[in-house]
Amino acid sequence: MKQNLKDRREFIKKSLGTALFSAIGTDIVFADKIPAGVKILGEEKPFEMAGKHKDLVVLNDRPWNVETPAHLLDDEVTPTDKIFIRNNGNPPESVDVKNWTLTIEGESARTKKSFSLADLKKKFKTYTYQIQLECGGNGRSGFFPVTSGNQWKEGGISCAEWTGVRLRDVLEAAGIKEDAVYIGYYGKDVHLSGDPSKPVISRGVPIKKALEDESLIAWALNGQDIPMIHGYPLRLILGGYPASVSGKWLQKIVIRNKVHDGEKMDGNHYRIPSYPVEPGAKVPDSDMKIIESMPVKSLITYPRSGAMLEEGKVLDVRGHAWAGDLSVKEMYVSIDFGSTWQKCELRTPKNRLAWQHWSAKLSFPRKGYYEVWARAVDSEGISQPMVMPAWNPGGYLNNSCHRIAVKIV
């Protein structure tokens, strides 16, 4: 009986693909009876996505790209069912966790070393941090002219609790040569074409970033195994940089003696012009630079846009702010389209690279339509722009102010 079930699961995976299987979240009982060429209705998503809040917004289902509306990001630590999803390919077909290994190699590794999950847990000290991960393309829908890629509004951001070992400790166990300048990752996900020889994504960071205290090889998210869609059983967590460097389904890390040249390290991928360009411009490849620390940004997570309040009442607003590798120094809100700003209460982060919580009490002069705009300033004094920042061909780093509509009635 058990064997039968397993056979059937194998069959479903082969005939329909794991992406679909994991999206439906259950066995398709008569999968072997589906006539060739028939697309099942489940593919059109009449059910909620397994393990995810029903109000997340699907930007793309091949591959899965799903964002979290701002009002669902109100928790101080993002619950797993509200974490956005950004996949470049499909999650691995299968994960044999007992035999999963992480290998450290590369020109600048002194030795090649492989670790099982049990080795990692046993040999190294475990750390837990709250880490904000923001997709480099978060906010892309605000760029004009439109750039290609998923049209994220503001919900490609999470700040959850990640547990694992320090990347530094594991790299040092293999040995880091003096000429090391970069690391790169390889994961087990599958190219959309299904072709196993085609890489999906293999990005990296300067060695200095890799060696920071908060750079983790993680196996737990919010105290539980990382769900498949977020990188089970192992992923990199490198907060502050575009989240594309936080490799999921992590199998291999290379220590490089040059800038990592893996998939999506080139062209317009996660790169921006090294000088301001006219919106819509074509930029020579040699003038593009790799995005490192993300810019300062904030969200209003309460109330939800469209809130109504009785005249004379005070409105409690709140949200989070973050600033890539830096911290947030000041937080402001405006109810008059940015003419004047009121300073908010701003808390210190739980740990470096966690987002910070802010709150304010707002009074409105009379009945009518208002917008609340939120603006953070980083520890170096740099502020979020009120409107679209420097346009770039890949549509990255839109950190303009988040706005909500409020009606006083």
Ligand X SMILES: Nc1nc2c(c(=O)[nH]1)N[C@H]1C(S)=C(S)[C@@H](COP(=O)(O)O)O[C@H]1N2
The dihedral of CA 33, 39, 40, 42: what is its sign?
A: positive
For CA atoms 104, 105, 107, 108, the dihedral sign is positive
Helix then strand count (H, E) for the chain reads 5, 24
Which of residues 59 and 335 has its CB atom nearest to Mo ion in the complex?
A: 59
Rounded to a whole number of angstroms, the minimum distance from the CB of residue 22 to ligand X is 13
Residue 162, contacted partner among ligand X, Mo ion, none, CB below 5-8 A by kind: none
Amino acid (one-letter) located at 351:
N
Complex with ligand X: residue 200 or 406, whichever CB lies closer: 200
Contacts (CB under 5 A) with Mo ion, residues 221-260: 243-244
Q: With binding defined as CB under 5 A, does residue 135 bind Mo ion?
A: yes
Distance of closest approach, residue 141 Cβ to ligand X, in angstroms: 15
Min CB(264)–Mo ion separation in Å:
10
Question: Which residue in 388, 383, 158, 402 sits closest to 298, CA to CA?
Answer: 402
For residue 289, the surrounding DSSP H or E stretch is strand 288-290
The site for Mo ion, by CB under 5 A, has a size of 4
200 binds, among ligand X, Mo ion, none (CB under 5 to 8 A by kind): ligand X
Give the strand pairing for 224-225 and 64-67. unpaired
Per partner kind, with CB cut-offs from 5 to 8 A, the member of Mo ion, ligand X, none near residue 187 is ligand X
Contacts of 119 (CB under 8 A, 6+ apart): none
**Binding partner of residue 141 among Mo ion, ligand X, none, CB under 5 to 8 Å per kind?**
none
Nearer to Mo ion, 292 or 330 (CB): 292
Nearer to ligand X, 85 or 253 (CB): 85
**Could you tell which of ligand X, Mo ion, none binds residue 83, using a CB distance below 5 to 8 A set by kind?**
ligand X
User: Residue with CB nearest ligand X?
Assistant: 187
Cis peptide before 303 (omega within 30 of 0): yes
Q: Beta-carbon neighbour count of residue 353 at 10 Å?
A: 27
CA–CA gap between residue 123 and residue 34 (Å, rounded): 48
- With CB under 5 to 8 Å by kind, the binding choice for 78 among Mo ion, ligand X, none is none
Contact 286, 273 (CB under 8 A): no
Q: Which of 52, 71, 82, 86: binder of Mo ion (CB under 5 A)?
A: 86
Interface contacts to ligand X, rule CB under 6 A:
83-89, 133, 135, 158, 187, 189, 200-201, 230, 243-244, 246-249
Q: Are 306 and 372 in contact (CB under 8 A)?
A: no
**Minimum distance from CB of 348 to ligand X (Å)?**
25
- 379 in Cβ contact with 323 (< 8 Å): yes
- Which residues of the shown chain bind Mo ion in the complex (CB under 5 A)? 86, 135, 243-244
